[in-house]
Structures are given as structure tokens and as C-alpha cells.
Amino acid sequence: MFIPQEMNFELFITKRSLTKDKDNISGPYINIAVIAIALGLAVMIISVAIVTGFQHEIRNKVIGFGSHIQVTSYDFNRSVESTPIEINPSLRRSIEAIDGVVHTQVFASKAGIVKANDAIQGIVMKGIGSDYDWSFFKDKIKVGNTFQIHDSAKTNFILISGKLADKLDLNIGDDLRVYFVGMDSKQPRGRKFLIHGIYETGLEEFDESYIIGDIGHIRQLNNWNDNQIAGYEILIDDFDNVESLADQVYGMIDYDLRATHIKEMYPQIFDWLNLQDMNVVVIIVLMILVAGITMVSTLLVLILERTNTIGLLKAMGARNKSIRKIFIYNSIYIIGIGMFWGNIAGVGMALLQDYTRLIPLSEESYYVSYVPVQLDLTSLILLNIGTLVVCTLMLLIPSHIVSRITPMKAIRFD
């Protein structure tokens, strides 16, 4: 048997064995192994894409209401009634100069009660200024539109959620009277607003409570001057840097202020999102184990089927290490085929769901109306490398069976 010098002996034998007639006892086992690896990898890709997409959607919705980082008075106790701080243009410019910060905006909030059509509902009015970034609400508005705010005069336009509109039987163009308790008085003070748009985010905690209006009304209700606000909202370009950027902001503000990032403001939501990572880890471990065990079984069948070939190779002087490599290479080839089809199936199904949103969800239970997916190239590469490495490592132990096969018994084995 002639083997070209430039060709690796083990690879040469592997290629010859792969070109043989596949109608043998190992054929069905190989097909099962390919299917198991393909299904396992596809499930892992889809699982990671769904969890990543789900976390991204929920996270962005929470950030849409609270921003990434808030600078407020140090005695701000997470209630809607806050101690005002003075607008500081110098501080704002310093914050916006931080690498990673993309926008800052002022805000204030105040609790109130609305009464309409014999229905009563407690709300929180979030006051915003002319610098407010409306990008979050652009695709959340179901009826109507956003509105412009001017520093020179207050506007009576507001946004309310679809849940509030349904409860109070309201629509755009309707008047809505809101009653607030003043800072220095127990008597409620009423304000009449005009509904300019109706939004829907799917986050029940916010949709049932928040209306969006002009910060000027909150200043007047709290007897603040035009230079006072509850704080600054800071938007950044990368959520992964939110904690480090919050520390940078904290380092440049006065002693009577504090910088709080979104994870600290809503820990229960982000703790719940982090739990989803554990589900993905369990799925990945199970799928890799199934694929690995299937490949171990397939390798044992291949060794059993080619026992006489092993004996012949040993009789010709081949070492155990070289023969083991032949079977490992053969198994890696099978793993590669399964991974190829697994990537095609997993990425294809994820893209199909992303573009068509075929699979719906109950928005009341899951905060989104469809199964969100987000493919990440790094995660995809790591899943493929991890699957290949783990499955290959699992094959090392059963491949040692080759060393137990003697040439005399193997050649007689048929």
C-alpha cells in the first residue's frame, strides 16, 4: 500500500475508510450520531439566541423608563417624591464627555390619582424636558404620537399606556384630570391634560402606572424654580459597561448626590433575568452529554466493525497511538457533519423567528408578544468550539480499546 510522503498516515487511512461502501453495520449508528449532534447543537443555538433576545428586550424596556444611570439627590429614597437638585451645566458637560455616555436628560416624577368615567387609578407622572430622547417610545406608540416640549411654555400633552386607556375608557384627544398632593399642602391639586398618544411596552409594572408629561407641571406642583429637577438620566452605548460608568459618574459628582445604575434601581427584574442563564447552562450541558455519549457509542461500533483491520494494521507495524488517531479523526469527521447541519438548522430557525415572529407569547406573562431571538457571533463560535472539544475529549477514553486488540485474534475475528 503506497502512502504519499507528504500525507499523514492516519489521515490517509481515515480518508480511505470514509470512501468505502457505507452499507455496513455502522451506517445507521453514524446517521444517528450525526442527527444527535445536529439536533443538540441546534437546540443550544436556539436556546442561547432566545435567552439573549429575551434579556435584551426586557432590559431595553426597563432602561426605556429609567435610563442606564440616574444622578439624584443623596436622600432620594426610591419614592416618587424627591428632593430637588440644581441644574449644573458644567457637571452635565463633564458627564457627557465620559467615553461611552451618549446622552443626558433631566427628569422628575410625582404620584397622583386619575379619575375618569367612574374609574379611579393611581399613577406616576414622569416629567421630561425638551432634551428628552424619544427613541424608546417611537415603536411603542400604538395610537397617536409623541409631542414636543419647550422650555419657554408648558404643554398639557401627555402619553398614557394602553392598559390605563382601557381601564379608564380613554382615547387620544380626550381630557384627563389628574390630582396631586402638594409638597406643602394636604389638599389635592388638580391638573387637566390632553392625551396625545397611547403606548404599550408589555411591562405591566410600568404600563399600569406611568404617564409621560412636561416637567414644568411637576416643578409648579412642587414649588420648584425653573432650575430645579429630580435628577439626570444618563444613556450609554454598551450595557455591559453600566457599572463601571456609574462609578466614573459617581466620582465626579458632589457629596450630596449619588449615581445609581439600572441594576440597582430594579434588582428584582435583573436578578430574574440572570436566572435565565442557568437554564441555558443546563440545556447546553445536557445536549453536549447526549451528543458525546452518542459519539462514544458510534466509536465503539466503528472499532468493533473494523477489528480485523486494526489487527492487520498492527501486524504491519502500526502503533496503538496511530490507530487511535485514525478512529478519532473518523469521529471528528462525523462530528463535523453533525455540527454543519446543526448550525444550518439552529441559525435558520432563529433567523426565521426573528424576521417572521411566527411563535407568539402571552405579553402579560412574558412581557413580550413573541419569542425574541438575538444571534451573537461570539456565542455561536464558542458553542461550536465547545461542542467539538468536549465530544472529542469524550472519545479519548473509549479509543483506548484499540490497545487491547491483538493482531492474531483480530485477524481471525470475523
Per residue in 203-228, pLDDT (tens digit) is 887 888 899 999 999 998 888 998 99
SS3 content of the chain, % helix, strand, coil (to 5): 55, 20, 25
Q: What is the pLDDT of residue 408?
A: 60
State percent of the chain over pLDDT 90: 37
**Confidence category of residue 407, pLDDT binned at 50, 70, 90:** low
Tell me the C-alpha distance between 67 and 61, whole Å. 10
Name 75's Cβ contacts closer than 8 Å, sequence gap at least 6: 83
Q: What is the pLDDT of residue 33?
A: 84
According to DSSP, the β-strands at 188-199 and 141-144 are antiparallel
CA distances from 140 to 29, 156, 316 (A): 51, 21, 73
Q: What is the pLDDT of residue 401?
A: 73
Q: Which three cell numbers stand for residue 40?
A: 443538540
Q: What is the pLDDT of residue 365?
A: 77
Q: What is the pLDDT of residue 344?
A: 96
Name 106's Cβ contacts closer than 8 Å, sequence gap at least 6: 87, 128, 129, 131, 215, 229, 231, 232, 233
The Cα diameter of the chain in Å comes to: 103
Cross-strand pairs, 157: 194
Asked whether the beta carbons of 331 and 392 are under 8 A apart, the reply is: yes
Q: What is the pLDDT of residue 21?
A: 43
Which tops the pLDDT comparison, 175 or 5? Answer: 175
| Range list of H helices, 88-229 | 89-96, 162-168, 204-207, 215-221
Q: What is the pLDDT of residue 262?
A: 93
Tell me the C-alpha distance between 210 and 217, whole Å. 15
Within 10 angstroms of residue 162's Cβ, the number of other Cβ atoms is 16
**Confidence category of residue 321, pLDDT binned at 50, 70, 90:** confident
Tell me the C-alpha distance between 191 and 413, whole Å. 95
Distance spanning both ends of the chain, measured CA to CA: 22
Closest CA to 198 of 214, 210, 184: 210
State the average pLDDT for the chain: 84
Within 10 angstroms of residue 7's Cβ, the number of other Cβ atoms is 10
pLDDT value at 343 more than 90: yes
Q: What is the pLDDT of residue 196?
A: 93
Which tops the pLDDT comparison, 204 or 409? Answer: 204
Q: What is the mean pLDDT of residues 44-67?
A: 90
Q: Which three cell numbers stand for residue 361?
A: 407569547
| Backbone φ, ψ for residue 155 (5° rounding) | -110, 150
Asked whether the beta carbons of 108 and 127 are under 8 A apart, the reply is: yes
**Confidence category of residue 295, pLDDT binned at 50, 70, 90:** confident
Domain parsing of the chain, residue ranges? 9-60+270-412, 75-254
One-letter identity of residue 27: G
pLDDT value at 284 more than 60: yes
Strand, helix or coil at 227? coil
Asked whether the beta carbons of 306 and 17 are under 8 A apart, the reply is: yes
Tell me the C-alpha distance between 248 and 254, whole Å. 13
